[in-house]
Structure 1
Amino acid sequence: MDQPALNTLLEGLIHTWENEVVEFKQADNDYPTNKIGEYFSALSNEANLRGLERAWLVFGVSNKTRGVVGTSYREDSERLHSLKQQVAQTTEPSVTFRNIHELQHTGGRVLLFEIPAAPRGIPIAWKGHYHARAGESLGSLGLDKQDEIRQQTLAQDWSAQLVPAASLADLDEAALHKARDAFAQKYANRFSGEEVMGWPLSTFLDRARITQNGKITRTALLLLGKAESAWHLSPYPAQMTWKLEGIERAYQHFAPPFLLTTSQLYQRIRNIQLRLLPQDELLPVEVSKYDQKIVLEALHNCIAHQDYMRNGRVVLIEQPDRLVFENEGSFYEGVPGDYLEGNRIPRRYRNPFLAQAMAELNMIDTMGYGIHDMFARQARRYLPMPDYDLGESGAVRLTIYGGVVNPAYSRLLIQQTDLPLADVLALDRVQKQLPIPDEAVTRLKRAGLIEGRKPRFYVSASVAKATASKADYIRTRAQDDEFYAKLVIDYLYQFGQANRAEIDKLLIDKLSDALTLEQKQRKIGNLLTKLRRRKRILNTGSRGKPEWKLAE
């Protein structure tokens, strides 16, 4: 959201004032992270219970005056946004802010933390404790509210249903040992490995969200069940199939426990080393044909999102130059492109009980990072990007490439390892002869990365030629705020003082060409405000005609 939109949002929140899904704090730079986590848990849970998409924690507004007073909380942008990772590490399941909005209000700096509602059926805990709101007060999430959230999907969630005929004896000992080990690693900051290994089995399974009050669920049989106990799930086939296509043909079926057999399936894939030859070099770059983390991420996603009521199996087809993953059911929350930047957090799951259990065992995350990580890792291996085919069959097909489509693309990635993922995605579409947006065409042509005319573009065969145009390309990319801050500090050190016009002249041409003049001027104003609040510079003039000097 831009600044006017944020200002309108803030006015609306102040007008309705605090309630179960909105909290205001003045907050100084030392506001405790633990308190933020407690509010995150409470506001997220309350948003879920009220059927809302988000809740808000706002810094820089006084509870006494109900007006903007500004906040000094984490004025450094990098440190501010590191809070996302801190929250993700300590919430259960792992979630974090959808966004942190910074508003430069006339009354001071305001931070609006956008908190996603807890997923249906899954309450959010902070450091193992569930929090809630009672009006404007922070408290514990009572058992009645916990049950209300957990019951949201139990009736519809195939994976949460109990299997009365099954018992703990139907679970595989090796899988149970690995599950405890995975859980202990995930929560190493809370429990020692010895403590987790010492819990009674029923206690561990309940804490790992695999059973319900010690009773066996379909999730427990899928992840930890013995192969000979899979009949409990009939007529639903609990099965993964590996199929080899090409000159040689073979196949193998894999039954539970999926916690173990996904790795066994991976071992069947023929994973040789590929030799990629960079431009004008004699020594090749070697990469494995398939990355284990990518393959297991894709396979675990198939298990988590499979529509088991369609009575199908998860299939992995190995072709000479690619892997094709298939699972029953449409893409459940949004489309794959929503998750490429790693910012989208899924709100719903087809199998929420199964998804939460897999997250507890470190098989998947529930933050929507999986797709982004698969694409980023494939780019770092200089190979084509994965392809999703949602089709019309009600199934999802994911293709992971294990070979080069266009040598120019791979050579370019080897030569320019700092390309943003958005540019790599566009180049990948070009090599596959797929259309790309006009703005991407302009950006890539300016950088010399593609050639040709619409609609027939192709990746530039000459990396050297592309390198000659790097200066134009770099001008469209924003630098870190500290880069611009150093220019201002150096200028003031050299010349003693500067007015706003002189600082504009210093920075305007150095800011990203992707910004309009108005956006550049606003960014410079925000930068000066930040430096003033950090007491690195001071204004010896008036507000209308500032004269900036270095602070003593």
Structure 2
Amino acid sequence: DYSAQPVPEAVYSDLDPVEREHLRNIIQNYHGEKNLLDLDDTELDLALRLAVEQNGTFVPTYCGMLLIGRRERLSTLVPTAEAAFQELQGTDVAVNESFVLPILTAFEKIESYMDARNHTEEMEEGLFRISIPDFDKRAFREALVNAFCHRDYTMLGRVRVLLDDDGLTISNPGGFIEGVTIENLLTAEPHGRNPALADVLKRIGLAERTGRGVDRIFEGSLSYGKSLPDYSESNTNQVKLFIPKSLPDKAFIKMIAEEQSKIGRPLSINALLILNALKSNRRLRLGELAHMIHLNEYKVRTTVEKLVESGLVEADGNGNSRAYILSAALYKNADNVIGYVRQTGIDRVRYPELVLKFAKNNQGKVTRKDVMQLLHLNQGQAYRLLVKMTEEGKLLLVGKGKFAYYKIK
């Protein structure tokens, strides 16, 4: 752990009392571990591994210098502790500032830049009043924390935040940690390059305590029906996150808000990923869903069937042919009933025609089992279709029980 190592040539007075007080304020304001506030300065530094004892004296660690080091010493002792905020408006450079500051101060400086530029739209729908920002603030905070926390401080470079017409880019030196890839970002066990630094940021309340900050980053886009965060330009030398600037899907937002209000908690990240995939692709089978969101089929099946039970998703067919679409409610909220009928109705309108065609080629007879196999319906769906066709005078029921069948009337 590089961040836990003592800094050569550093002395304890290189830690800044003003920045330490800043850290205490963050613990208070971000609901960190309150018991840390009861410690004196030295006890706090040792508890958070901002300093270690060597030969009877206290020496700052890289974690300590990065968080609360004196600015004039930080640039000398840890020259890689650089960050930048840039804003492009078209091809014009509106802001281009680089700085070497303790992480807590750099974090707040960048956050203040973003707050001034992160526009918000108010959405009112019945009892719901929802603020829709260009970029979710909690997602941005987690992405920025990750950039500072997981960057490789042995490499030259800087944490860079770029805001332009297309969206928000946050990059940092150092590729993904071993075992983490773009495909398993949301499922890999959380672990970082600088555990001591990551631990401090969690304990003071600045970072996600579960270590699943990347879930928060995705949730920030998914909850508003926006385009997903993109890590595709990351490589072995850097992690680059791009969050597109896209329009919110208000019908989708309303559906999510209503469901979360009903169940009294946020939807899981897996549920949001599935709903987003169905929103974008309309109709998907289990295998297609699993491939698209990089989860195994068991987890996808468990989550999507719960969404079916809740009424957010509708299922059609059985076995490998079972397909899923978003519920009628979403299409109605979006005034897109035609879209719903297109997804569900065409096949169902043709069901009676296919049943009759089968019967004509089967000596005029058809059973419930035949209909289940022919149309990939479950037992109840096949029974209701046959009853409806009987009531409409297209079929006639012959016999009872397991020997029953229907014939063309």
2:66/2:81 contact within 8 Å kept: yes
The TM-score, its normalising length taken from structure 2, stands at 0.60
1:241/1:254 contact within 8 Å kept: yes
2:203/2:209 contact within 8 Å kept: no
Task: Give the corresponding residue for 2:80.
Answer: 237
2:226/2:249 contact within 8 Å kept: no
RMSD: 4.3
- 1:400 partner SS: strand
CA 400–158 in structure 1, closer or farther in 2 if over 3 Å, else same: same
How do 1:79-94 residues align onto structure 2 when only pairs under 5 Å count? none
Kindly state the Cα deviation for residue 262 of structure 1 after the two structures are TM-superposed.
0.4
Task: Give the corresponding residue for 2:270.
Answer: 422
CA 448–175 in structure 1, closer or farther in 2 if over 3 Å, else same: closer
CA distance in 1, matches of 2:10, 2:288: 55
- 1:308 partner SS: coil
1:226 aligns with 2:70: yes
Structure 2 letter corresponding to 1:271: N
Task: Give the corresponding residue for 1:477.
Answer: none
Q: How many residues align?
A: 300
CA distance in 2, matches of 1:434, 1:255: 48
Identity rate, percent? 21
1:268 aligns with 2:113: yes
Task: Give the corresponding residue for 2:173.
Answer: 328
Kindly state the Cα deviation for residue 308 of structure 1 after the two structures are TM-superposed.
2.0
CA distance in 2, matches of 1:204, 1:225: 14
1:318 aligns with 2:163: yes
Structure 1 letter corresponding to 2:43: T
Kindly state the Cα deviation for residue 299 of structure 1 after the two structures are TM-superposed.
0.7
- 2:169 partner SS: strand
Kindly state the Cα deviation for residue 449 of structure 1 after the two structures are TM-superposed.
5.7
Task: Give the corresponding residue for 1:166.
Answer: 10
- 2:52 partner SS: coil
Judging by fraction of residues, say which structure has more helix. 2
1:339/1:368 contact within 8 Å kept: no
CA distance in 1, matches of 2:163, 2:202: 27
How do 1:246-285 residues align onto structure 2 when only pairs under 5 Å count? 246-247=89-90, 248-249=92-93, 250-269=95-114, 270-276=117-123, 285=130
1:335-358: CA deviation from partner (whole Å, max 9, x where unpaired): 4665647xx643x43122322333
CA 338–282 in structure 1, closer or farther in 2 if over 3 Å, else same: same
CA 282–292 in structure 1, closer or farther in 2 if over 3 Å, else same: closer
Task: Give the corresponding residue for 1:306.
Answer: 151
How do 1:143-158 residues align onto structure 2 when only pairs under 5 Å count? 157-158=1-2
- 2:243 partner SS: strand
Kindly state the Cα deviation for residue 211 of structure 1 after the two structures are TM-superposed.
1.2
Larger-Rg structure:
2
CA 204–394 in structure 1, closer or farther in 2 if over 3 Å, else same: same
Task: Give the corresponding residue for 1:175.
Answer: 19
2:193 to 340, 350, 353: 350
2:139/2:219 contact within 8 Å kept: no
Task: Give the corresponding residue for 1:293.
Answer: 138
Task: Give the corresponding residue for 1:207.
Answer: 47
1:245/1:319 contact within 8 Å kept: yes
Structure 2 letter corresponding to 1:186: G
Task: Give the corresponding residue for 1:373.
Answer: 216
CA distance in 1, matches of 2:22, 2:227: 34
1:437-484: CA deviation from partner (whole Å, max 9, x where unpaired): 635769599768699xxxxx9997444759x99xx9xxxxxxxxxxxx
1:221/1:230 contact within 8 Å kept: yes
2:49/2:61 contact within 8 Å kept: no
CA distance in 2, matches of 1:321, 1:231: 33
CA distance in 2, matches of 1:304, 1:435: 39
CA 287–230 in structure 1, closer or farther in 2 if over 3 Å, else same: same
- 1:326 partner SS: strand
- 2:60 partner SS: coil
Structure 1's unaligned 5+ residue stretches are: 1-156, 452-456, 473-552
Structure 1 letter corresponding to 2:157: G
1:4-58: CA deviation from partner (whole Å, max 9, x where unpaired): xxxxxxxxxxxxxxxxxxxxxxxxxxxxxxxxxxxxxxxxxxxxxxxxxxxxxxx
1:312-338: CA deviation from partner (whole Å, max 9, x where unpaired): 111111123532111122221434665
Once the two structures are overlaid, the 10-residue window that deviates more, 431-440 or 220-229, is: 431-440
Kindly state the Cα deviation for residue 393 of structure 1 after the two structures are TM-superposed.
5.0
1:209/1:356 contact within 8 Å kept: no
1:493-547: CA deviation from partner (whole Å, max 9, x where unpaired): xxxxxxxxxxxxxxxxxxxxxxxxxxxxxxxxxxxxxxxxxxxxxxxxxxxxxxx
Kindly state the Cα deviation for residue 391 of structure 1 after the two structures are TM-superposed.
3.6
Kindly state the Cα deviation for residue 267 of structure 1 after the two structures are TM-superposed.
0.9
CA distance in 2, matches of 1:292, 1:429: 23
CA distance in 2, matches of 1:425, 1:208: 36
Structure 2 letter corresponding to 1:309: T
- 1:397 partner SS: strand
CA distance in 2, matches of 1:239, 1:434: 45
Structure 2 letter corresponding to 1:229: R
CA distance in 2, matches of 1:283, 1:427: 20
Kindly state the Cα deviation for residue 428 of structure 1 after the two structures are TM-superposed.
2.9
1:373-427: CA deviation from partner (whole Å, max 9, x where unpaired): 3333544455444333364353222233453265664454456546653232134
Structure 2 letter corresponding to 1:160: A
CA distance in 2, matches of 1:435, 1:175: 53
CA distance in 1, matches of 2:45, 2:283: 49
Kindly state the Cα deviation for residue 297 of structure 1 after the two structures are TM-superposed.
1.4
Kindly state the Cα deviation for residue 222 of structure 1 after the two structures are TM-superposed.
1.2
Structure 2 letter corresponding to 1:206: L
CA 350–302 in structure 1, closer or farther in 2 if over 3 Å, else same: same
CA 285–382 in structure 1, closer or farther in 2 if over 3 Å, else same: farther
CA distance in 1, matches of 2:283, 2:98: 39
1:382/1:414 contact within 8 Å kept: no
Once the two structures are overlaid, the 10-residue window that deviates more, 238-247 or 392-401, is: 392-401
CA 276–321 in structure 1, closer or farther in 2 if over 3 Å, else same: farther
How do 1:495-514 residues align onto structure 2 when only pairs under 5 Å count? none
1:186 to 29, 32, 36: 32
Structure 2 letter corresponding to 1:168: Y
CA 425–359 in structure 1, closer or farther in 2 if over 3 Å, else same: same
